[in-house]
Amino acid sequence: MWLRRLCCLLVLGSFAFSPGSSLAASPFPAGWVGHWKGSCDLIPKTARQSRFATELIVRPKTATVMDWILIYGSGPKRQTRNYELHPEDPAKGRYLIDEKNGIILDAVWFSPTLVSSFVVGKTHLVARYERAGKTMRITIDTFSTRPTRVNRVKGRTIPSYRLLRRQSCKLHL
């Protein structure tokens, strides 16, 4: 009897997480199309501004390219960044974010998260975009490119980097 119940649970569970179900991860990038709106918090808070409006617009531009438009702030401080998301090798989860100014960033899809890592000046940024249903979380962690400490263990050098700031965003469709 317990074996029959276990089989029923396994069969029902497989339907719950099938691609057509609402619990399954949305296909990337087509399943991310939409106008996402919400806000971002800067951690630690700054004296200037610690929370600001944020939007992400994802929409098809061509058969393979998506508009990836980030909008920060509102009113006169509103900044629009008209980026594009290009497939590089989708089978391996490799994408490119073209900032349309000569900068192209590598991004990797690790379901359900798109991750990009890049350096600007003396700052290393790691950006994560993650969708869960009708919620999009964007986290951008900022580190110094200078190690806060350097460990030397058994002939190896292992530098350690302190997190300087986090931009934590929650957007909704």
Question: Does any domain span residue 94?
Answer: yes
Supply angle C-alpha 19, 23, 29, rounded to 5.
60
Domain total in the chain: 1
Query: Rounded to an integer, what distance in angstroms lies between the CA atom of residue 66 and that of residue 116?
Result: 16
CATH number at residue 104: 2.40.128.20
Q: What is the pLDDT of residue 46?
A: 67
Domain of 107, in residue numbers: 24-172
| pLDDT per position as a tens digit, 65-84 | 999 999 999 888 899 999 99
Question: Does any domain span residue 11?
Answer: no
Question: Does any domain span residue 9?
Answer: no
162-173 burial code (b ≥16 CB/10 A, e <16): eeeeebebebee
Instruction: Walk along the chain (173 residues) in steps of 10 and give the mean pLDDT of each run.
Output: 34 33 65 97 79 96 97 92 97 97 97 96 97 96 96 96 95 97
Question: Does any domain span residue 44?
Answer: yes
Strands 156-160, 135-144: pairing kind: unpaired
Q: What is the pLDDT of residue 15?
A: 29
Question: Does any domain span residue 14?
Answer: no
Question: Does any domain span residue 39?
Answer: yes
Question: Does any domain span residue 1?
Answer: no
Q: What is the pLDDT of residue 58?
A: 98
